[in-house]
Chain A
Amino acid sequence: MAGKVITVTSGKGGVGKTTATANLGAALAVSGERVVCVDADIGLRNLDVVLGLENRIVYDLVDVVEGRCRLRQALIRDKRLPDLYLIPAAQTRDKSAVTPSDMVRLCNELREEHDWILIDSPAGIERGFRNAVAPADTVLVVTNPEVSAVRDADRIIGLVEAEEKGPARLLINRIRPNMVRRGDMLSAEDVLELLAIELIGMVPEDENIVTSTNRGAPIVLDGKSRAGQAFRNIARRLRGEDVPFMNMEEESFFGRLTRFIRSGG
């Protein structure tokens, strides 16, 4: 079976593209799928850090494209998950080192031996974005419940439509349920009303993301984290399972207490 290429993009920077790529990649790999994550952010690479594989890089994406190594040599196997691979970006070059057709060719080669190819797109709508989107079967647009991020997501969705990549799917990241409840943050409904594309998942704000990113251990591997659970659900939806959307509200202390008492009695 030929692999599927999923491009994770956003327009705006800092909304969680890299975190989403790393966690979806890890979640798919945990469920036994063969996954390769490709960092298309040439010159500003991050995905290797988030996956904790920075010190294993020998060859990168640009080396493959320019023929300095074979594709296999640039594939870095994850230290925890044997089915997860990374192709890191070059740090010393820029986006113009790769063309959209290079990416199409690279992904066609990767499709043969992997079930999923996740591409971490750089922010922006220029060359780097087009490189990342060119080979995509499905485009996943990440946004935050903030007006500026939603505006950029809207622009990106328009560009993806223009590239005839089919309807993009939306991932709303960093939702803070208590702020939404107070009316201080856009709700998922507000975002969806404007963007009008299919939602693939919502991820609550979670402080553990910061530690997991710094440690280079994807949060999906932490069974207790709610953000990890959200990413695991999205991975299952990507695989075609029908998973209900998770309730964003964190269970209150009293809620937990009542449940505890009930189960006890």
Chain B
Amino acid sequence: MQPSVQIKGIRDGLLIILGEGAWEEIREALFGQLDQQADFLRGARLALDVGNRILKAADLGQLRDQLSDRGLSLWAVMSNSPVTEQTAQTLGLATRISKPVPDRVAPPANTTISGGEGAVLVRRTLRSGYSLKHSGNVIVIGDVNPGAEIVASGNVIVWGHLRGMVHAGAEGDENAVVCALDLAPTQLRIAGLIAITPKRRGKPQPEMVMVSNGQVVAELWNPKGK
């Protein structure tokens, strides 16, 4: 009966792996082991791997309370069963421990799309801290706020205010262009060239930026002109 419960130290506290067997027996075995080392374990954070077991909210909730009575806090329950995962999530518990916790802040804000010369269309506002990298063209319908960045190997078109950092032709393509309805980036790069937008006078107007004779130049977009 003993080996059905394994306790391991992990970076984020303790990982407990529960083996096969009836839930009541396993639970007894678990508490048996925990109580033996009660003083040593007090205050520890536990992650629980329950395998394929399907647990009801009542079971998990009761377990969590019993653990907290012993001064242990349960923060994650991992399971191969989607039902158990769901239950754990409703109780506000994590269901994955692989990722270090602080990293959770960043991932949703970064998108790297690789392969192909195709364009990616982003239909939202890119806020500070957001980074979009794409080998190909990038089209944004929305604003690019200061602190956000777009790096594309192709062209970048922003249907909105462009106030963040944009790098077009990031793999060295000097033919890449950047277009925006309101062009006021903190910094703009095309291939190996870097430009800073001068202070704007007057109303924002659609502009296109390109490299001409080794210089970054911005041109007003004028539909009647050409």
> Which residues of A come within 8 Å of B, CB atoms?
65-67, 99-102, 104-105, 108, 125-127, 130, 134, 151-152, 154-155, 157-159, 161-162, 194, 196
- Known contacts: A101-B94, A151-B146, A196-B143. The answer to whether A158 contacts B127 by CB under 8 A is yes
Encoded as 1 (CB less than 8 Å from any A CB) or 0, chain B from 104 to 125 comes to 1100110000000000000001
What are 17 A-B contacts with C-beta separation under 8 Å? A66-B71, A99-B75, A101-B93, A101-B94, A102-B73, A104-B92, A130-B104, A130-B105, A154-B146, A155-B127, A157-B127, A159-B129, A161-B127, A194-B145, A194-B146, A196-B125, A196-B143
Contact, CB under 8 Å: B105 / A154: no
Contact, CB under 8 Å: B145 / A162: no
Contact, CB under 8 Å: B101 / A67: no
Contact, CB under 8 Å: A155 / B129: yes
> Which residues of B come within 8 Å of A, CB atoms?
43, 45, 68-69, 71, 73, 75, 91-94, 101-102, 104-105, 108-109, 125, 127-130, 143, 145-147, 163
- Known contacts: A67-B68, A101-B93, A130-B105. The answer to whether A155 contacts B143 by CB under 8 A is no
Which residues does chain B contribute within 8 Å of A127, judged by CB atoms?
101-102
Residue B128 contacts which of A99, A126, A151 (CB distance < 8 angstroms)? A151
Distance, CA A102 to CA B93, complexed state (A): 9
Which residues does chain A contribute within 8 Å of B68, judged by CB atoms?
67
Which residues does chain B contribute within 8 Å of A100, judged by CB atoms?
92
Distance, CA A105 to CA B104, complexed state (A): 20
Contact, CB under 8 Å: A158 / B129: yes
Contact, CB under 8 Å: A158 / B128: yes
Q: Which of B104, B128, B147 has the most CB of A within 10 A?
A: B128
Distance, CA A102 to CA B67, complexed state (A): 14
Closest to B75 in A: A99
Which residues does chain A contribute within 8 Å of B130, judged by CB atoms?
158
Which residues does chain B contribute within 8 Å of A125, judged by CB atoms?
105
Distance, CA A134 to CA B89, complexed state (A): 12
Closest to B61 in A: A105
Contacts A101-B92, A158-B127 given; 14 further ones with Cβ under 8 A? A66-B43, A67-B69, A99-B73, A99-B75, A101-B75, A101-B91, A104-B92, A134-B92, A154-B128, A154-B145, A158-B109, A158-B128, A158-B130, A196-B143
Contact, CB under 8 Å: B105 / A126: yes
Distance, CA A108 to CA B64, complexed state (A): 15
Which residues does chain B contribute within 8 Å of A152, judged by CB atoms?
128
Which residues does chain A contribute within 8 Å of B102, judged by CB atoms?
126-127
Which residues does chain A contribute within 8 Å of B71, judged by CB atoms?
66-67
Chain B min CB distance to A26 (Å): 29
Closest to B45 in A: A99
Which residues does chain B contribute within 8 Å of A66, judged by CB atoms?
43, 71, 73
